Copies of this chain bind each other. A is one copy, B any other.
Amino acid sequence: MQTELSSTLGAEHAVFGFTPFPAVAAAISRAGGFGVLGAVRYGAADDLARDLDWMQEHTEGLPYGLDVVMPAKKVEGVTEADIEAMIPEAHRTYVEETLAEHGVPPLPEGEASGWRITGWLEQVARSQLDVAFDYPIKLLANALGSPPPDVVRRAHDHGVLVAALAGSPRHARHHQEAGIDVIVAQGYEAGGHTGEIATMVLTPEVVRAVDPLPVLAAGGIGTGEQVAAGLALGAQGVWLGSVWLTTEEAELHSPLLTRKLLAAGPGDTVRSRALTGKPARQLRTEWTDAWDDPAGPGPLPMPLQGLLVADALTRIQKYETEALLGTPVGQIVGQMNSTRSVQAVFDDLTRGFERAIDRINRIAGR
C-alpha cells in the first residue's frame, strides 16, 4: 500500500495510526505503518521527552509522528486557573450530583487527576513542541484547526511535514492557505472531534478542494475493505485511531472499558459535547446522556467543559463506574470484537485490502 505520501515519509504502507500510547505507536511503525503519538495527555514536557526517548529505542529507525492540540488563536497570559474561574457553580454541582447518583467516590486526598486536559492549552502545546523538535519526528499533526504560522515555519525548518484535521472542504482550504502539508479528512463516523459530513462524501470533496495536497481519509476505517474504500475515494492514505484501543499494546488500564469496547455495536456511540465542549464521538453512556439531557445545564464551550469534567472522568475511570465509563471511539467500535496485537491488526488490514482489490477487479471485469 504505497502512495507518494507514504514514500515521502518512508513508510511501507499508507496506513497512519493515531494513538495516545507509545507502545501502540511504535508497533504501528514497526508493522510498516506510520505511528502518530497523541501528546494531549502529557501535561509536563518531561513526560513527553521520556516517551519520545522510548519511541526512539523501539521504532528501529522507522518513521513516526506526533499529534498535538494547539488552537490557532493565541490567548496571551491566560492560565489554567483563569479558565477554571470561568466555570459556573451550577455546572460543578451538576457534575457532583451526576457522580453521586452513581455512587462514584471522590479521589483519595492528594491524588491529582490523571486525565490531564492541560494539553489543550497553547502554552503546554508549545512546551511540548520545544521537546518534539529535538526528536526525528517526520510529521506534526494538529487535531484542532491550523497551528499558528510560526509553528508551521518551525516544523518546516526542521523538515517536518504538518498535518491538520478537517471536517469540511472549507475547513480544509483554510488549512491549505495556512501552509499545511497534509489534510486529514475526518468524517462524521470518526472517534473524537468530528463534523457532520460522512467519510464517503468528505474524502473526495476535500481531495478536490485542496488538490494537489495529499489527503488522508479518517473515520469509519478499521478493516482492509475500508482501507480500500478510503483509497478509492482519492486519499493518499488512511488515518486510523479507534481500532488500536483494543490491541494488546494499548494501555487503557481498565479491563471494564476494554470489555465495553469489545461488546459495543456500531450504534453505541454518540457525537456529544460532554467531553471537551466541541462535538466528539464517543461511547454513549449515562455520562453523555446526562450532558445531552435537555433538563441538565448542557456542556460548556471548549476549553471550559474539559476542565470541568477532568477530575470526574478520572474518578469514573479509577472506580470503573460501568454506567458512566466511556472513551472517544468511532462507529467502527462494532467491528472491534477481539483483542489482537498491533501486528495482527496490520496483517488483517493488508489481507483484507488485497481481498477487496481482488473482488473489485473481478467486478470491473479485470
Contacts and interface: CB of A to CB of B under 8 A. Distances in A.
25 contacts: A2-B365, A189-B201, A198-B198, A198-B199, A198-B220, A198-B331, A199-B200, A200-B220, A200-B226, A200-B229, A200-B230, A201-B334, A205-B266, A225-B232, A225-B233, A228-B229, A229-B229, A229-B230, A231-B363, A234-B356, A353-B364, A354-B364, A357-B360, A357-B366, A361-B361
A68 B230 CA distance: 33
Contact of A200 (B196, B221, B234, B361): B221
Nearest to A353: B364
Contact of A189 (B197, B332, B334, B360): B197
Interface string A153-181: 00000000000000011100000000000
Contacts of A219: 198, 200
Contact of A335 (B1, B205, B364): B205
B223 A267 contact: no
A102 interface: no
A123 interface: no
Contacts of A266: 168-169, 197, 201-202, 205
Interface of A: 1-3, 14, 168-170, 187-189, 195-202, 204-205, 219-221, 223, 225-226, 228-234, 265-267, 294, 330-332, 334-335, 353-354, 356-357, 359-361, 363-366
The copy count of this chain in the complex is: 2
A13 to B, nearest CB: 10
Contacts of A189: 188, 197-198, 200-201
Given A169-B266, A364-B1, A220 B232 contact: no
B361 A267 contact: no
B196 A232 contact: no
A200 B187 contact: yes
Contacts of A14: 363
Given A198-B198, A357-B364, A363-B14, A335 B267 contact: no
Contacts of A188: 188-189, 198
A351 to B, nearest CB: 12
A356 B230 CA distance: 11
Contacts of A330: 201
